[in-house]
Amino acid sequence: MMEERSESIEVDGNRIAVRHRQGRAPGIVWLGGFRSDMIGTKAERLDQWAAETGHAYTRHDYSGHGVSGGTFRDGTISRWLAESLAVFRRYTTGPQVLVGSSMGAWIGLRMIAELNKAGEGSRVGGLVLLAPAPDFTTELMEPQLTPAHRRSLAEQGFFEEPSEYSPEPNIYTRALFEDGAANRVMTGPIDTHCPVHVLQGLADPDVPHTHALKLVSLLPADDVTVSLIPGGDHRLSRPEDLDMLIKTVSAMVEQAAQ
């Protein structure tokens, strides 16, 4: 069994922490969510699977997240995308299956667009999206902003909200909203050039299943599977959810290897 190594790479002046397990292709690349880190339940379960099966596995913390450098409130989709592409290009070889959770699904879709543009699209053999939240700033948050939120964005450049998942509040900046609008992916058909499997909980309080279905409607019909999980919340970290994740990733890796 290849050991997992902790490394780091500098991207735009920030030290990005990376964990990389060498192994056979297709490898797995984990893309975490907003305010989450690379040692969460799902990321760890995937590492266990990679260790058992001998597949390569790469994960990192975005700047301002986990043990990476940088400040969270300086983060934008463009910045976290650039970091994810740098890690992908530095640490992976051959076809990879991207596994994106929540905001990580947005990062994954943008990565594919950028890789396709650079002629590297064949490097992505599949995409697994959990509770996908692409365009969440525009699609999910902006319609819910109160006058107080809008005033705070205009005057202070940010607002804070309590987090269900952390004692620290979530910080949403004007830059995040403006940059999010520039990175939208749900504006028309999305050609991923690879198979996609979406896992979405029906009891998700943060990303409604209608958002996942809207995303699915924009993906090529012959290459997309959606699994709606009764009782599944946003984390999708119950034992049965983790089993479903492993089953889905395993099947996607098998497909990508053909």
Q: Is 156 exposed, middle or buried (0-12, 13-18, 19+ CB in 10 A)?
A: exposed
pLDDT at position 168 over 70: yes
pLDDT digits 0-9 by tens, 93-105: 999 999 999 999 9
* Contact (Cβ atoms closer than 8 angstroms) between residue 103 and residue 65: no
Cα–Cα distances in Å, from 193 out to 113, 201, 258?
Answer: 10, 25, 15
pLDDT digits 0-9 by tens, 106-165: 999 999 999 999 999 999 999 999 999 999 999 999 999 999 999 999 999 999 998 887
170 vs 18, residue with greater confidence: 18
Residue 191 CB coordination number (10 Å): 14
Does the global pTM surpass 0.85? yes
Q: Is 11 exposed, middle or buried (0-12, 13-18, 19+ CB in 10 A)?
A: buried
Angle at 193 between CA 192 and CA 196, to 5 degrees: 60
H helices of the chain, in order, are 41-53, 77-91, 103-117, 136, 147-155, 174-182, 209-218, 239-257
The encoded tokens of residue 170 equal 């979530």
**Terminal C-alpha separation, the chain:** 24
Domains and CATH numbers, the chain: 4-135+190-257 (3.40.50.1820)
- pLDDT score at 149: 95
Cα–Cα distances in Å, from 221 out to 87, 190, 197, 257?
Answer: 30, 11, 11, 21
